[in-house]
């Protein structure tokens, strides 16, 4: 017997759940909505953690996401167990909640770098606002910051902390920053943007270990023996879907490590349960394959589709995934896709000047488009990706 019943239970306190709550109300849901999140804060945007919030230009309030007064939000509360067949969830408060429909949106956790010295003081990972607070306190007295990882977290942190007067180095396995998502020519341009603002980029290398002076990180040793000094280290080496609860509940986990959902974002084999955000691995009607994507706008879009379907729409998720990244005020990138692979890059505009679009095509079909400096038509790209048309 459950302690209480809600019409809609939203598990996870991130943007996917928050957007779902908003969309449920906008879609006419009159019943009770309970959002359960284990963080200290109610839902907030994570992108400012590496950008405005870290740089000091944005506050906690700026990052907050309003869910509406008529949505009950429990913070510092975990869902410990989920029984999809009985449609009940057990909270860390020991209460059992039954539901008519539920959203599972437990997000992702940082991947830790498994090297010697990885636990030293002065080594940071960024996922929550509190991590940015800790990094800000630590960099105050620091001169040299070393960012491990050439993806958007490492590049954005290096850009933001450079604007705060720190000497930043980005160390990456790949040849160029952001190369994995956008290819070598865009990667070379990103490197030039970083370097022209004083960021050192050390590429094609592996971190072997961290070394300390007085228990605090002091240097990074790379494979091959090169040593780089560091007062503070920030690791941005990927995230893993948080599927602990889902796994315990017996839900199917996909090859990309997320919870499997169909094209309508329904958890496979669990009536009334929907999946959204970073941990959602769904049959994409747009891509014709199973995808899992870790972008804020995608999580929000999932939340909207899930809400519609919780209200009975029976609609496929058809929004083309969108991603953006800011390197301080030096460059803004926007991207629709994602391309699983491509055999042709067509550049429009002036790559060297930072006002360009790159169209990624596979076998003649547009599979993604990257826009820098506001160049290029993202809506056209969305339409071409969704339709599978060949022309640009
Ligand atoms: C530092 C940083 C910068 C980023 N910058 C960008 C950017 O510039 N552009 C972009 O597109 N994307 C960016 N992203 C990615 C984007 O923030 C994520 O894709 C988005 O937050 C995913 O939302 P979500 O709701 O799926 O999951 P999350 O935001 O991870 O939220 C899930 C929440 O659920 C909680 N939870 C987990 N398990 C339980 C449980 N059992 N019970 C209760 N609560 C639970 C978690 O603690 C977490 O608070 C960034 C991410 C990070 C970390």
List CB contacts of 249: < 8 A, sequence separation 6 or more.
Answer: 81, 82, 83, 84, 270
Of 9, 13, 52, 92, the one to substitute when testing ligand 1's pocket (max ligand atoms within 8 A of C-beta) is: 13
Q: Is the CB of 108 under 6 A from ligand 1?
A: yes
List CB contacts of 45: < 8 A, sequence separation 6 or more.
Answer: 15, 63, 64, 65, 296
pLDDT at 85 over 90: yes
What is the CATH number for 168? Answer: 3.50.50.60
Tell whether 86 is covered by a domain.
yes
Tell whether 218 is covered by a domain.
yes
57 and 23 together in one domain: yes
Instruction: Give residue 391's pLDDT.
Output: 61
27 CA to middle of ligand 1, Å?
24
Instruction: Give residue 264's pLDDT.
Output: 98
208 and 251 together in one domain: no
Rounded Cα distance, 349 and 354, in Å: 9
Q: Given the CA of residue 278, which atom of ligand 1 is nearest to it?
A: 26
* Structural domains in the chain (count): 3
212 and 256 together in one domain: no
175 and 87 together in one domain: no
Q: Given the CA of residue 18, which atom of ligand 1 is nearest to it?
A: 25
183 and 245 together in one domain: no
Instruction: Give residue 1's pLDDT.
Output: 80
Q: For tokens 């620091």, name the residue.
A: 142
pLDDT in tens, 232-269: 999 999 999 999 999 999 999 999 999 999 999 999 99
Instruction: Give residue 388's pLDDT.
Output: 75
167 CA to middle of ligand 1, Å?
28
Tell whether 324 is covered by a domain.
no
Domain boundary among 235, 258, 289: 235
Average pLDDT over the chain reads 97
| Mean pLDDT calculated for residue range 102-107 | 99
Q: Is the CB of 15 under 6 A from ligand 1?
A: yes
19 CA to middle of ligand 1, Å?
12
246 and 231 together in one domain: no
Q: What are the Cα distances from residue 315, in Å, to 50, 302, 311? A: 34, 12, 10
Rounded Cα distance, 391 and 376, in Å: 14
Domain boundary among 182, 201, 235: 235
pLDDT in tens, 60-79: 999 999 999 999 999 999 99
204 and 117 together in one domain: yes
213 and 134 together in one domain: yes
Q: Given the CA of residue 126, which atom of ligand 1 is nearest to it?
A: 1
Tell whether 319 is covered by a domain.
no
Domain of 269, in residue numbers: 4-109+240-310
pLDDT in tens, 179-192: 999 999 999 999 99
Q: Is the CB of 281 under 6 A from ligand 1?
A: no
Tell whether 326 is covered by a domain.
no
Read off φ and ψ for residue 89, nearest 5 degrees.
Answer: -130, 145
* Percent over 90 (pLDDT), the chain: 97
199 and 289 together in one domain: no
Q: Which helix (H) or strand (E) holds 3?
A: none
Tell whether 322 is covered by a domain.
no
| Mean pLDDT calculated for residue range 172-183 | 97
103 and 248 together in one domain: yes
């Amino acid at each position: 017997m459950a302690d209480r019943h809600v019409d809609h239970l939203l598990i996870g306190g991130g943007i996917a759940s928050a957007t779902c709550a908003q969309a449920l109300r906008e879609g006419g849901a009159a019943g009770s909505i309970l959002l359960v999140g284990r963080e200290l804060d109610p839902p907030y945007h994570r992108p400012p953690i590496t950008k405005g919030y870290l740089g000091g230009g944005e506050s906690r309030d700026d990052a907050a996401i309003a869910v509406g007064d008529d949505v009950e939000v429990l913070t510092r509360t975990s869902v410990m167990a989920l029984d999809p067949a009985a449609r009940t969830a057990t909270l860390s408060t020991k209460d059992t909640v039954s539901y008519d429909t539920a959203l599972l949106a437990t997000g992702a956790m940082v991947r830790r770098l498994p090297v010697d010295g990885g636990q030293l003081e002065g080594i940071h990972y960024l996922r929550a606002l509190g991590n940015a607070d800790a990094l800000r306190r630590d960099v105050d007295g620091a001169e040299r910051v070393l960012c491990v990882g050439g993806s958007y977290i490492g590049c954005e942190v290096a850009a933001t902390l450079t604007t705060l007067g720190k000497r930043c180095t980005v160390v990456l396995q790949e040849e160029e920053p952001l190369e994995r998502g956008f290819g070598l020519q865009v990667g070379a341009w990103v490197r030039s943007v970083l370097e022209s603002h004083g960021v050192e980029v050390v590429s094609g290398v592996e971190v072997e270990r961290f070394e300390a002076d007085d228990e605090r990180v002091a240097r990074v040793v790379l494979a091959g023996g090169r040593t780089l000094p560091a007062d503070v280290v920030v690791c941005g080496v990927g995230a893993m879907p948080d599927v602990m609860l889902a796994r315990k509940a017996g839900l199917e986990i996909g090859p990309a490590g997320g919870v499997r959902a169909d094209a309508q974002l329904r958890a496979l084999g669990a009536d009334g349960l929907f999946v959204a955000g970073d941990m959602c691995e769904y049959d994409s009607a747009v891509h014709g394959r199973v995808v899992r994507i870790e972008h804020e706008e995608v999580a929000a879009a999932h939340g909207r589709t899930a809400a519609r379907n919780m209200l009975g729409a029976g609609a496929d998720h058809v929004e083309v995934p969108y991603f953006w990244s800011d390197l301080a005020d030096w460059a803004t990138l926007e991207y629709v896709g994602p391309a699983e692979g491509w055999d042709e890059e067509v550049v429009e505009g002036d790559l060297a000047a930072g006002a360009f679009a790159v169209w990624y095509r596979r076998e003649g079909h547009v599979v993604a488009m990257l826009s820098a400096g506001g160049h290029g038509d993202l809506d056209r790209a969305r339409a071409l990706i969704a339709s599978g048309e060949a022309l640009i």
